C-alpha cells in the first residue's frame, strides 16, 4: 500500500428538502385547511478517526464527497426523510486544515474522535406553519436551506511513542528491523527509506511504537533531499532517538546538522527528550568508541549510548532508556486527558444548571 500523508478533498453536505404546499381533501370535512409537511434535513459530512488505518491513500484519487439532499415534504403533514450522514474514516492523528492550510480546523489525535465538517441544510417549512386566523389557506412554503461546502487539506501525523532521526545511512532502518517486526528497506546507500515506517517494540513486558522517518541532510529546510516533509510524524513522539554513524570522521558535525534542521523546523522538537545512539560501533576499533563519545559529550548534554544495530550490542540499553521516557510521557498524557474530560463534564453540568434555571440539593 502506498503511503500518503497529505490529501486535499472537496466536501459538501446535503441541502434541506423543500416544504410542501398541500390541503386536506377529505370528503366529509367542509373546511380542509393546509397540511403541507416540512422538508427533511440534508446529510452531514463527518470525519472520524478509526483504528486500522495508517495512510490517506483513500483520498488521493477520490477527492469529492457529497451528502444527499433531504426529501421534500408532502401532504397530510408528512415530513420528508432526512438524508444519511456521510462518514469519512481517517487514521488516528489526522489534522484537518482549511484550503490554504493557514487554519487548523480539528486534530483527530484520539481513537473515535469525530467532527462535523459540513452541517447538512435544514428542511424548508410546509404551508401548515403559515396558517393564521386571517390566512386560513396559505399557499406559501419555504425551500430547504443549502448545505455547506469547502475544500480542506488532510494531513496525517503518525501516532508513535518514540521517533528515530539522523542522517541518511545512519542505521535507522536496521535498528527498527532489529527491535520490531517491521520490514523496512535496508541497503548500503542513502535514502533507502522514502516514507515513514512504524514498528511495535517489545521491551520486557511492555510495548511502544517507534517511528522511523527518512534521513535529513543539510539544507532540508530549503527542500534539499526529501526536505522537512516527514518531520511532522515525530512531532507527537515523547522522545527522540538520534542515531549517529560512528564510522564518520566528523561526529560533531553530524550531530549539529540534525539539530540545526530540527531547530529550523521548530514545532518544539528541540524541547523533546533526546537520546543519542552512537551506531555501527561494531565497525570501528573499541579504543575509538570512547573517543567519539567524548567528542559528542562536548556538544550535547544528552545521554550518549554506544550500540550496533547489526550485532545487537547496546540495543537493550537503548530500549531501556527509551521506555523510561515513554512511560513518563504516557502517564502525563493520561493525566492531561483525564483533566480535560473532567473540565468538559463540569462545563456540561454547568450548562444544564443554567438551562434548568438553577437547582439546589434538598
Q: Is 194 annotated as a binding residue?
A: yes
* 225 belongs to an annotated ligand binding site: no
Task: Judge whether 192 and 226 are in contact, CB under 8 Å.
Answer: no
Annotated binding residue 280: yes
Ligand-binding site membership of 140 (annotated): no
196 annotated to a ligand binding site: no
Which distant-in-sequence residues (6+ apart) come within 8 Å of 94 by Cβ?
47, 49, 56, 108, 154, 155, 156, 157
* 37 annotated ligand-binding residue: no
Cβ atoms 219, 260 nearer than 8 A: no
281 in a labelled binding site: yes
- Give me the half-sphere count of Cα atoms (radius 13 Å) on the Cβ side of residue 326: 23
Q: How many helices (H) and strands (E) does the chain have?
A: 5, 14
Q: Which three cell numbers stand for residue 77?
A: 403533514
C-alpha torsion angle, residues 90, 94, 96, 101 (rounded to 10): -130
Question: Is 192 known to sit in a ligand binding site?
Answer: yes
Q: Is 93 helix (H, G, I), strand (E, B) or coil?
A: coil
Contacts of 156 (CB under 8 A, 6+ apart): 4, 5, 6, 54, 55, 56, 90, 91, 93, 94, 95, 233
Q: Is 171 annotated as a binding residue?
A: yes
Q: Is 294 annotated as a binding residue?
A: no
Annotated ligand binding at 191? The verdict is: yes
Establish whether 170 is an annotated binding residue: yes
Compute the half-sphere exposure of residue 352: CA atoms within 13 Å on the CB side of its CA.
8
Q: What is the rounded distance in angstroms from the CA atom of residue 95 to the CA atom of residue 98? A: 10
User: Annotated binding residue at 193?
Assistant: yes
Closest CA to 81 of 118, 123, 35: 123
For residue 213, say whether it is annotated as part of any ligand binding site: yes
> Is 169 annotated among the ligand-binding residues?
yes
Neighbours of 349 (CB within 10 A): 10
Any binding-site annotation on 138?
no
| Burial track 272-281 (b if 16+ CB lie within 10 A, e otherwise) | bbbbbbbbbb
Residues 6+ apart with CB under 8 A from 9: 59, 63, 64, 65, 151, 152, 154
Binding-site residue positions for Mg(2+): 173, 193
Q: Which positions make up the binding site?
A: 166-173, 191-195, 212-215, 279-282, 308-310
Residue numbers belonging to the annotated binding site for GTP: 166-173, 191-195, 212-215, 279-282, 308-310
Amino acid at each position: 500500500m502506498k503511503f500518503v500523508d497529505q490529501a486535499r478533498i472537496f466536501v459538501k453536505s446535503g441541502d434541506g428538502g423543500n416544504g410542501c404546499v398541500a390541503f386536506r381533501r377529505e370528503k366529509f370535512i367542509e373546511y380542509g385547511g393546509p397540511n403541507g409537511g416540512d422538508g427533511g434535513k440534508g446529510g452531514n459530512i463527518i470525519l472520524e478517526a478509526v483504528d486500522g488505518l495508517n495512510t490517506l491513500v483513500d483520498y488521493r484519487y477520490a477527492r469529492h464527497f457529497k451528502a444527499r439532499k433531504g426529501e421534500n415534504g408532502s401532504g397530510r403533514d408528512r415530513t420528508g426523510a432526512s438524508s444519511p450522514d456521510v462518514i469519512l474514516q481517517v487514521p488516528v492523528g489526522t489534522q484537518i486544515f482549511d484550503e490554504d492550510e493557514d487554519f487548523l480546523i480539528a486534530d483527530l489525535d484520539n481513537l473515535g474522535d469525530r467532527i462535523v465538517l459540513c452541517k447538512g441544510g435544514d428542511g424548508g417549512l410546509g404551508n401548515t406553519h403559515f396558517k393564521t386566523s386571517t390566512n386560513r389557506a396559505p399557499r406559501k412554503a419555504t425551500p430547504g436551506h443549502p448545505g455547506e461546502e469547502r475544500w480542506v487539506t488532510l494531513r496525517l501525523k503518525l501516532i508513535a511513542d518514540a521517533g528515530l532521526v539522523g542522517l541518511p545511512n545512519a542505521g535507522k532502518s536496521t535498528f527498527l528491523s532489529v527491535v520490531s517486526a517491521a520490514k523496512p528497506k535496508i541497503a548500503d546507500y542513502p535514502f533507502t527509506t522514502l516514507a515513514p515506517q512504524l514498528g511495535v517494540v517489545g521491551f520486557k513486558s511492555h510495548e511502544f511504537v517507534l517511528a522511523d522517518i527518512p534521513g535529513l541532510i543539510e539544507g532540508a529546510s530549503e527542500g534539499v533531499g526529501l526536505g522537512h516533509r516527514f518531520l511532522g510524524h515525530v512531532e507527537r513522539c515523547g522522545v527522540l532517538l538520534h542515531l549517529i554513524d560512528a564510522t564518520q570522521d566528523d561526529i560533531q558535525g553530524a550531530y549539529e546538522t540534525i539539530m540545526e534542521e530540527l531547530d529550523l523546523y521548530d514545532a518544539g522538537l528541540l524541547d523533546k527528550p533526546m537520546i543519542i545512539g552512537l551506531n555501527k560501533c561494531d565497525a570501528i576499533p573499541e579504543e575509538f568508541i570512547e573517543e567519539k563519545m567524548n567528542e559528542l559529550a562536548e556538544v550535547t548534554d544528552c545521554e550518549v549510548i554506544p550500540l550496533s544495530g547489526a550485532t545487537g550490542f547496546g540495543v537493550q540499553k537503548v530500549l531501556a532508556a527509551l521506555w523510561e521516557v515513554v512511560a513518563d510521557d504516557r502517564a502525563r498524557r493520561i493525566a492531561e486527558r483525564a483533566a480535560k474530560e473532567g473540565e468538559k463534564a463540569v462545563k456540561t453540568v454547568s450548562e444544564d444548571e443554567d438551562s434548568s434555571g438553577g437547582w439546589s440539593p434538598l
